[in-house]
Chain A
Amino acid sequence: MLARDPSPPPLPAEGPIVAKPARGNESYIALVWRRLKRSWTGMAGLWLVVLLLVMAVFAEFLAPMDPKATDVGFAPPQLPSFHDKDGNFVARPRVYALADSADLDPVTFQPVVGPDYDHPRLLGFFTEGAPYKLFGLIPANRHFFASMDGQPVHFLGTDKFGRDVLSRAIHGSRVSLMIALTVVFIITVIGTTVGTVSGYFGGRFDIWMQRFVELVLAFPQLPLYLALTTLIPVTAPTNVFLAFVIIVMSALGWAQMSREVRGKTLALARIEYVRAAMAVGATDRRIILQHILPNVMSHVIVAVTLAIPTVVLLECFLGFLGFAVKPPLISWGLMLQDTATYSVIGTYPWILSPVGFVLATVFAFNALGDGLRDAVDPY
């Protein structure tokens, strides 16, 4: 037998058997981690995913303001400034709110609006501001980066009701990611179960199961979403509505996952270590749990990381159409509903900023998924 190229490092002579670790006694996780580290996009994706999750968990703390508090509508973004009224450099970052000067434009007679240099709002880390309950339990009022005296600051401007876009986007990540993770979790559990069972037992059960999977895959999804979401009464509480959206998305999404898992299982069910397990008398349950599942798991993990961005995008799309999340919950899709009018985007482009968050999420999970795909099969 020939060595595959490139040749493995030379092995010591076989004569006296020396248990020779190829590279120490490394666990599977360690091997995957070492290979993932080699792909810089994968690592970038991983860090971004971690950041996004931290953002979702500590949304209240990270958001500079209460996402429901209203201020001036469609206020433009205020960037932190290091200059005072006269243009001199100052150490403390600050923002200047827009304010009416007492003057009128001599031509149009409209009030002249400009930065209010007389009342700088000083910025700082860990400032006290709007009160909230961390994790819904611990009362707190510290914010990561906001104005020192609790006055409103809008780094990404405000929407039509004068709510802070940045704070809403940070809070929106919570619902958007929660939907994505829940849906993908349900999809994975159903898809993996159906896939392994169908692929392992084969025969008549597999044939009928696959026809059913094809039926689900062939469903025209968009009309179905619209039809199903209109089934639920408008007066239903938001939580019920959210649960319903998650169920509908999961019901349509598991089929693809089960297809992938079944394909892998089909190959594994004929591999020799599965035969060897049968030969020692292992039960089907044991073979599936011990031999098939751990070996398809790597593929499932990759499929999961690639499924999350699709659900995020779907939520965004349905939210834009007004079918996914209802106020008072906040999600990126819902925030983008405001951008439906072209003239609004033209005049107030900052309300598109949730798109940036969506892009970052999609990139992060896709990059991580690509990196993992290369890393999960280190043998």
Chain B
Amino acid sequence: MTVVLAESFAPTVRHDHDGRQDQPIIDARNIEVAFKVEHGVVEAVKDISFQLYRGETIAIVGESGSGKSVTARAVMGLLSRRATVSPKSSICYDGQNILKFPESERRKLRGNRISMIFQEPMSSLNPIYTVGSQIVEAIRVHRKVSRRQAWARALELLRHVQIPEPEARLKQYPHQLSGGQRQRVMIAMALANNPDVLIADEPTTALDVTVQAQILNLIRNLQKELRMAVILITHDLTVVRKFSDYVYVMQHGAMCEHNVTERLFADPQHPYTQRLLAAEPRGRPQPLPEGSGAILEANDVRVCFMLRHGSFLKPDWRELVAVDDLGLKLCRHETLGLVGESGSGKTTFGQALLRLIDTRRGEIRFDGQPIQGLSRNEMRPLRSRMQIVFQDPFSSLNPRMTIGQIIEEGLVVNSIGATRAERVDRVREALVSAGMPGDILSRFPHEFSGGQRQRVAIARAIALEPEFILLDEPTSALDLSVQAQIIDLLRKLQDERGLSYLFISHDLKVVRALCHRVIVMQHGKIVEQGPVDEVLTNPKTAYTERLVRAAFDVA
């Protein structure tokens, strides 16, 4: 088989999946993995087969809990102790079934012939060793080379993964590198022994959108150069389309469909795949009614954090300006997007507008009333009119309270509803509006999935019948198909109740589907703002352009 790789992003390796003569480098058949739990076993992976050929990238796609990571770990031999691989499974590497190998033999493959990159570059490097010594260790575990040779190789690898100033980086510790650089180091470690197979398990999920594209391009270029086979595990269909040759779609631990990438995207067969593809956020917000007044106005808002430098004896306090004299105006019925990479200060700005964080100076008006100087007690009457929905539905609901108590709390605190029965009615109504059944009041948050919890969090916000809701990345912790549902829900609620949203996100796709106007932030400053269409189609700054390209660039 000849592999021709063009410069374009479109997958160019074509193959007839079953009719090839070439022997696959990895031939996995009937993988079945079960986990022992309290009441019997849970089958995490059921009868999964896939083939991986030299020089190609396959993508394993699925939502959380679909078993894609478990499959990858089975190939690596990194399953937890509670997992059992069924005896009829076989994973052949170069024609040999590695599941039959003893642990010592598998260790020789791991990190040597088959390498893996993990999702979290923050926690997969050891914080107490320098970057260099960790790469050197990865080399010397598998090869008998001198320390000097290993260091030279480490330097070469860092150059390869395009880290600036590689000599200096070798002697640095992981915390001195950025997330993207750490992921590059992880890739360098994975490549240390020229592996045949590279498994990338959500390699960019924890990274900023603009860094994502760089890392994926890097993997692609390295693959071309080293003729590796890559297994890309992801939930991001844009990434799949851009970088993979062949796609396997998993759901609930089973394989629903597999095909050449282009064909799969053009003509999905399985209903789940169809739903997954249709789940991309779409639709546009309702046009703004004429002459709607401002609900929230802010001018010159500045938020600072004090950081201590210097020694204990001679402390040196420095100011970190997280939000640098920003202003905005949000009209009734409007959705304003607040976009930027992590650390750009968008969440801080949003919470400062709600007076959940203290501002250094500036003016904030809610419905014409200045609120910047109000104490917490003075803010209390206004609280029911402004609400917030957080990013992580797992930490935003108190695990010790029932759904009913969680939603009712705002009503109790603000003395809404004369009797308990009246409040319960309102709680039910809010739940139903948020697309949840009304009979779950006595259940606890842990009984629900992420998407359901986010609906509960939204119900908590709308139960108070606010006029304004701050949405702090409400969809980014959720699966794609759930994301689309939540966006539809938010849009529906806005239409029904005339809500105004301040929508914080890094995902411009979601922003396009939901927002009228958008503000782009970087380093605590506003870089660009304007109507969504204008900003997205015609970005004026390089930063915005990068964000737009990261979100929409499929070609």
Contact = CB atoms under 8 A, between A and B. Distances in A.
A348 B447 CA distance: 61
Contacts of A10: 65-66, 252-253
A6 interface: yes
A103 interface: no
B52 to A, nearest CB: 20
B455 A275 contact: no
A34 to B, nearest CB: 7
B38 A34 contact: yes
A361 B435 CA distance: 53
Interface string B32-74: 0001011000101000000000000000000011111110010
A286 B413 contact: yes
Contacts of A34: 38
Nearest to B405: A290
Contacts of B391: 272
Contacts of B390: 272, 275-276
Contacts of B392: 272
A291 interface: yes
A14 interface: yes
A161 interface: no
Interface string B481-506: 11001000000000000000000000
A23 B439 CA distance: 17
A10 B256 CA distance: 14
A22 B453 CA distance: 13
Contacts of B442: 25
A277 B253 CA distance: 38
B8 interface: no
Contacts of B25: none
Contacts of B67: 7
Contact of B83 (A6, A17, A286, A378): A6
A3 B71 CA distance: 12
Given A5-B73, A7-B67, A7-B70, A282 B413 contact: yes
B477 interface: yes
B384 A20 contact: no
B410 interface: yes
A1 B69 CA distance: 11
B395 interface: yes
A88 interface: no
Q: Which of B65, B80, B477 is packed against the most chain A CB atoms within 10 Å?
A: B65
B235 to A, nearest CB: 7
B409 A6 contact: no
Contacts of B449: 11, 14, 20
B413 A2 contact: no
Contact of A282 (B354, B388, B409, B455): B409
Interface residues of chain A: helix, strand, loop or mixed (majority)? loop
Given A19-B437, A21-B447, A280 B460 contact: yes
A21 B443 contact: yes
Contact of A25 (B354, B443, B451): B443
Contact of A2 (B119, B406, B435, B450): B119
Interface residues of B, number: 78
A295 interface: yes
Interface string A270-282: 0111011111111
B446 A17 contact: no
B447 A2 contact: no
B538 interface: no
A280 B464 contact: yes
Interface stretch (B90-98, B129-137, B172-180, B396-404): B396-404
Given A17-B452, A272-B396, A281 B380 contact: yes
Contacts of A20: 447-449
Given A273-B395, A281-B414, A7 B44 contact: yes
A295 B202 contact: no
Contacts of A273: 395-398, 406
Interface residue range, chain A: 35 or more
Contacts of A277: 398, 409
Given A19-B440, A28-B400, A275 B388 contact: yes
Nearest to A1: B64
Contacts of B201: 2
Nearest to A278: B356
B379 interface: yes
A283 interface: yes
A18 to B, nearest CB: 8
A7 B65 contact: yes
B447 A6 contact: no
Given A6-B80, A7-B42, A283 B205 contact: no
B202 A19 contact: no
A8 interface: yes
A199 to B, nearest CB: 17
A38 to B, nearest CB: 8
Contacts of A283: 380, 413
Nearest to A2: B69
B401 A290 contact: yes
B82 A276 contact: no
Nearest to B393: A272
B383 interface: yes
A6 B395 contact: no
A279 B396 contact: no
Nearest to B435: A17
A3 B80 CA distance: 14
Interface in A21-58: 21-23, 25, 28, 34, 38
Interface string B377-390: 00111011011101
B479 interface: yes
Nearest to A377: B399
A280 B387 contact: yes
A75 B96 CA distance: 77
Given A5-B73, A10-B253, A17 B437 contact: yes
A172 B474 CA distance: 60
Given A3-B65, A279-B356, A271 B395 contact: yes
B99 interface: no
Contacts of A272: 390-392, 395-396
Contact of A279 (B235, B383, B397, B444): B383
A290 B64 contact: no
Nearest to A5: B80
Contact of A280 (B205, B413, B439, B482): B413
Contact of B477 (A1, A6, A21, A281): A1
Contacts of B447: 19-23, 25
Contacts of A281: 379-381, 383-384, 410, 413-414
A8 B65 contact: yes
Nearest to A277: B409
A3 B351 CA distance: 29
Given A11-B65, A17-B436, A275-B388, A280 B397 contact: no
Contacts of B37: 6, 9
A14 B485 contact: yes
Given A1-B205, A277-B409, A281-B410, A7 B401 contact: no
B398 A295 contact: yes
Given A1-B205, A25-B447, A280-B460, A17 B398 contact: no
Given A14-B481, A290-B398, 14 more contacts: A2-B202, A5-B70, A5-B73, A7-B65, A8-B42, A10-B66, A13-B272, A14-B449, A19-B439, A271-B395, A277-B409, A281-B413, A282-B413, A283-B413
17 contacts: A1-B205, A5-B73, A6-B37, A9-B37, A11-B65, A14-B481, A15-B275, A19-B436, A19-B440, A22-B446, A22-B447, A38-B38, A279-B386, A280-B414, A280-B464, A290-B398, A291-B398
Interface of A: 1-3, 5-11, 13-15, 17, 19-23, 25, 28, 34, 38, 271-273, 275-283, 286, 290-291, 294-295, 378-379
CB-based closest 6 A-B pairs: A281-B383, A280-B410, A10-B252, A6-B35, A272-B396, A294-B400
